[in-house]
Amino acid sequence: MRAQLGDELVVESPTTGSRLRAGEIVGLHHADGSPPYDVRWSDTGQVTLVHPGPDARIRSSKVPENPSESCGLHGRVSEPPPPGSDFGRRVAHERQRLGLSRVEVADRAGMAENYLCYLEQQPADPSSATVLRLAAALETSPDALRGAGTERAPGAGRAANHPRLHELGPEECRRLVSSHGVGRLALSTADGPQVLPVNYALVDDTVVYRTAPGTVTAAAVGKVAALQVDHVDEAMSRGWSVLMVGPARLVTGPAAEELDSRAPSLPWAGGDRPLWVSIGPLRISGRRIDVE
């Protein structure tokens, strides 16, 4: 009998074949995956040391038959978002945010790389123990991986005991803005100030975004507009905010064609958005809140 972390140990009746008990294998005592195992039982949530008998079998974690083809031999950081569940996409996002490969995260979490690949790419429903280990490995919380609070606006957490607010230089501002892809576009209109979210990219120190004719975001052309990008780490009570202000211009001709070919992603709002608008910042400012 051989198993890996995340597999299920099933104990069946030797006469009827019916399941008597099942639990997730959360601990191995031998590198080759042989018994005994630490098992978290699904009926009680308790972890016990188990020496499986003849009435026990291992149910695999449904790893793809050839993981190297679907995941890459070493889980490269630059792979596209996985097609699996929201949980898997959050795991992949956090892993790539830290610049870690699947091998590195699997090692941190004490699980097989193939099982991590399965969690990222398939509609998996891992146990609480697996989520806890992954959250620790990815320096985040189980709730964040599960998607709890995704509809809640950030900022409800408490302020840190000793926060420090300091200004950011232009180069640091550009670096932070280049790491994101959604910001808030602010401009004046006939109906008053408008603030709208946009997908953007930073190309040669210039902010660019796609839009459609007749929209508010297209009306920024010919005006001075602002793009505000931020990040809030509510668990640590820290974050940063960058503001870029400058004239908005319509991008046409070969420059627009080049942007079409270099576009990192499609606009989240969907639809046909053939126009490119650029904001060449005349003023860049930013602030960061850290804790001592």
CATH 1.10.260.40 fits 67-146, yes or no: yes
The overall average pLDDT reported for the chain is 80
Q: Is the pLDDT of residue 54 over 70?
A: yes
Span 123-180, pLDDT tens digits: 777 888 888 889 999 988 888 888 765 555 566 656 666 778 889 999 999 888 887 7
* pLDDT: which is higher, 77 or 84: 84
Residue 216 contacts residue 209 (beta carbons within 8 Å): no
- High-pLDDT (> 70) share of the chain, %: 80
* pLDDT: which is higher, 152 or 101: 101
Q: In this predicted structure, what is the pLDDT of residue 195?
A: 93
Q: In this predicted structure, what is the pLDDT of residue 81?
A: 44
Pick the CATH number of 163-291 from 3.40.640.10, 3.40.50.720, 3.10.420.10, 2.30.110.10: 2.30.110.10
What counts of helices (H) and strands (E) characterise the chain? 8, 14
Q: Is the pLDDT of residue 226 over 90?
A: yes
Give dist(CA 39, CA 198) in Å, integer.
47
Instruction: Say whether 163-291 and 67-146 share the same fold.
Output: no
Give dist(CA 115, CA 7) in Å, integer.
9
Q: In this predicted structure, what is the pLDDT of residue 184?
A: 93
Give dist(CA 170, CA 173) in Å, integer.
5
Domains of the chain by residue range: 8-59, 67-146, 163-291
- Whole-prediction pTM: 0.52
**Residue 5 — φ and ψ, nearest 5°?**
-60, 135
> What end-to-end distance do the CA atoms of the chain give, in Å?
51
Q: Is the pLDDT of residue 68 over 60?
A: no
Q: In this predicted structure, what is the pLDDT of residue 27?
A: 80
Q: Is the pLDDT of residue 56 over 60?
A: yes
Q: Is the pLDDT of residue 83 over 80?
A: no
Banded model confidence at residue 96, pLDDT cuts 50, 70, 90: confident
Q: In this predicted structure, what is the pLDDT of residue 84?
A: 59
